[in-house]
């Protein structure tokens, strides 16, 4: 294999604070079936959503250093909290193509809204950063963006309570103020939230468009790879390890959760000591 071919066949590095980024990885698998993926879930240090900007940036730098040891050709920050805290720093520090989940999600909302009232639900770190609001209002000053942190959603998803009255009850409390404001578009600004999309949709009603940034992120990644001439031209041969998973805590626990999200069967996940990077 020559150097050019090696680069084309190199994997995409995708990272998240834990399992949530698998909703983004799943979308990349769907839309870019020829691409290999190396996924890192920081399961030992999750959640990022309640941590400071500095801590999340430090964690993200370590993960990028680890992913580089896997010879990735591009990086996807598949975590809203890490995108909000670390995107600009990582863009300055590394020369690899890099995609976050916030800007693609914000772009979808910008084109989806009819009445210019957009809601964002996310972790505290993402909401407090004001990143969605800033990005959308920079592109259209007449639009208004209202953010709401929903910290209980992540543990509800991780407990598997995707279709449960408890989730509906909590969603009702969190979302009532967004309903009162009359938003017509709601960004699911945390990687876990697409997994409780049905509960959120039930509360918001059919008229409110729910935006899952994962879809647009995969599209943006496709365009970026094409622009840089980095796309993998053919599907790797059967038996080649298309997807590899690494975590910073128990691989067994991750594997179980991941297998309920990813339809491809996760053969193995490996634990690494991320503090070494
Ligand atoms: N992946 C995180 C996000 O999208 C949610 C989980 C966490 O708080 O780390 O913001």
Between the CA of 61 and the centroid of ligand 1 the distance, in Å, is 16
Between the CA of 48 and the centroid of ligand 1 the distance, in Å, is 6
Tens of each residue's pLDDT in the chain, 277 residues: 677 777 788 999 999 999 999 999 999 999 999 999 999 999 999 999 999 999 999 999 999 999 999 999 999 999 999 999 999 999 999 999 999 999 999 999 999 999 999 999 999 999 999 999 999 999 999 999 999 999 999 999 989 999 999 999 999 999 999 999 999 999 999 999 999 999 999 999 999 999 999 999 999 999 999 999 999 987 776 667 789 999 999 999 899 889 888 877 666 799 999 999 9
Supply the pLDDT for residue 119. Answer: 98
d(CA 239, CA 6) in angstroms, rounded, equals 18
d(CA 6, CA 8) in angstroms, rounded, equals 6
Q: Which residues contact 189 (CB under 8 A, 6 or more apart)?
A: 80, 102, 105, 120, 121, 122, 126, 127, 132, 147, 213
Nearest-atom index, ligand 1, CA of 122: 10
Residue 43 near residue 271 (C-beta atoms within 8 A): no
- The string of DSSP codes covering 44-55 is TT---TTS-HHH
> In testing the pocket of ligand 1, which one of 189, 190, 196, 249 has its CB within 8 Å of the most ligand atoms?
190
d(CA 212, CA 101) in angstroms, rounded, equals 10
Predicted TM-score (pTM) of this structure = 0.95
Rounded (10°) CA dihedral 115, 133, 128, 57:
140
Between the CA of 192 and the centroid of ligand 1 the distance, in Å, is 7
Supply the pLDDT for residue 235. Answer: 77
Is 150 catalytic? The answer is no
Three-state secondary-structure class, residue 134: helix
**Burial bucket for residue 2 (CB in 10 Å: 0-12, 13-18, 19+):** exposed
Is 79 catalytic? The answer is yes
Supply the pLDDT for residue 8. Answer: 81
Residues contacting ligand 1 via CB (< 6 Å): 16-17, 20, 46-49, 79-81, 123, 126, 154, 190-192
Supply the pLDDT for residue 239. Answer: 64
Between the CA of 123 and the centroid of ligand 1 the distance, in Å, is 6
Supply the pLDDT for residue 174. Answer: 98
Supply the pLDDT for residue 1. Answer: 63
Q: What is the DSSP letter of 94?
A: -
Supply the pLDDT for residue 231. Answer: 93
d(CA 227, CA 215) in angstroms, rounded, equals 19
């Amino acid at each position: 294999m020559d150097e050019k071919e090696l680069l084309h066949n190199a994997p995409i590095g995708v990272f998240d604070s834990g399992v949530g980024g698998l909703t983004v990885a799943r979308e990349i698998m769907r839309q870019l079936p020829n691409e290999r993926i190396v996924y890192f879930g920081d399961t030992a240090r999750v959640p990022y959503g309640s941590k400071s900007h500095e801590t999340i940036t430090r964690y993200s730098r370590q993960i990028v250093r680890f992913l580089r040891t896997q010879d990735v050709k591009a990086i996807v920050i598949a975590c809203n909290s890490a995108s909000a805290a670390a995107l600009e720093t990582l863009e300055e520090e590394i020369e690899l193509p890099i995609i976050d989940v916030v800007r693609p999600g914000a772009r979808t909302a910008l084109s989806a809204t009819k009445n210019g009232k957009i809601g964002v639900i996310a972790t505290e770190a993402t909401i407090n950063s004001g990143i969605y609001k800033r990005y959308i209002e920079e592109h259209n000053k007449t639009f208004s963006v209202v953010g709401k942190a929903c910290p209980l959603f992540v543990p509800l998803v991780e407990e598997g309570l995707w279709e449960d009255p408890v989730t509906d009850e909590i969603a009702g409390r969190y979302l009532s103020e967004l309903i009162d404001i009359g938003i017509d578009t709601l960004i699911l600004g945390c990687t876990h939230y697409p997994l409780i999309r049905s509960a959120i949709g039930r509360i918001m009603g059919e008229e409110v468009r729910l935006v899952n940034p994962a879809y647009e992120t995969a599209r943006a990644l496709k365009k970026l790879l094409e622009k840089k001439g980095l796309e993998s031209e053919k599907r790797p041969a059967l038996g080649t390890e298309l997807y590899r998973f690494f975590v910073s805590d128990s691989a067994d626990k991750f594997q179980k959760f991941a297998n309920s999200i990813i339809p491809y069967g996760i053969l193995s996940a490996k634990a690494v000591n991320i503090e070494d990077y």
